[in-house]
Amino acid sequence: AQRVTQPEKLLSVFKGAPVELKCNYSYSGSPELFWYVQYSRQRLQLLLRHISRESIKGFTADLNKGETSFHLKKPFAQEEDSAMYYCALTRGGKLIFGQGTELSVKP
Amino acid sequence: DAEITQSPRHKITETGRQVTLACHQTWNHNNMFWYRQDLGHGLRLIHYSYGVHDTNKGEVSDGYSVSRSNTEDLPLTLESAASSQTSVYFCASNSKGISTDTQYFGPGTRLTVL
């Protein structure tokens, strides 16, 4: 069965520290993976997708098919990065989400 | 500007009552989705639609129904509300046939069932 796992419910770091939000998936086939972000009192929005190989707000994510992972990384965290982050994969146009990781960046 | 809206934003109801949550999008997207967001579970798909008169069950569809009579709207109905359905509900939409297309989310409806 297709599944997305985010092992950390909460990740707390200090401003300027590196950040890695973990995401592992199980999928039979070639997955299409995304990171969505939800800032406080705002709606969920796309942060990045693996096919674009882009860096958004300093975040990057590399698809590792061998380890079935799609970890989200940022070298220097900022306070405005504090939010809820969801990893997701798409199957037939539908999104399957992980449980989410709350990132808290302290000053 | 095109957008996706949900109403009401907050709703308190009693066990056993029928409740309908509205979702309206002006992007002319064919695909629309309903999710519920719960701590420890992330977002889970309730129902989805790929076009007018098309509806499909998602992962947690029991106790919910949807209908799609036009492109813009996908109302979600709780037939007989239960306390387990207390949650935040999000509607989303995207383009037809493009699996990698971004899903655009509404602002959410916080539902409390007493």
Q: What is the pLDDT along chain A (107 residues), one digit of tens a residue?
A: 789 999 999 999 999 999 999 999 998 777 889 999 999 988 999 999 887 777 788 999 988 888 999 999 999 999 999 999 999 998 777 889 999 999 999 99
Report the alpha-carbon distance of residue B60 to residue B53 in Å, rounded: 20
Percent of chain B at pLDDT above 70? 93
C-alpha dihedral (B93, A101, A63, A78), degrees to nearest 10: 100
Q: Does B48 touch chain A (CB under 8 A)?
A: yes
The pair of three-digit structure tokens given for residue B12, joined into one six-digit string: 């308190």
What are the chain A neighbours of B33 within 8 Å (beta carbons)?
Answer: 94-95
Chain A residue whose CA is closest to B109 = A43
- What is the tens place of the pLDDT at every residue in B17-49? 999 999 999 988 999 999 999 988 889 999 999
Report the alpha-carbon distance of residue A47 to residue A25 in Å, rounded: 18
- Residue A45 has a pLDDT of 92
- Rounded alpha-carbon distances, angstroms, from residue B9 to A91, A97, B108: 29, 23, 6
Report the alpha-carbon distance of residue B16 to residue B109 in Å, rounded: 19
Among A43, A53, A41, A40, residue whose Cα is nearest residue A81: A40
**Interchain proximity A97–B44, CB inside 8 Å:** yes
What are the chain B neighbours of A45 within 8 Å (beta carbons)?
Answer: 105
Q: Are B111 and B21 in contact (CB under 8 A)?
A: yes
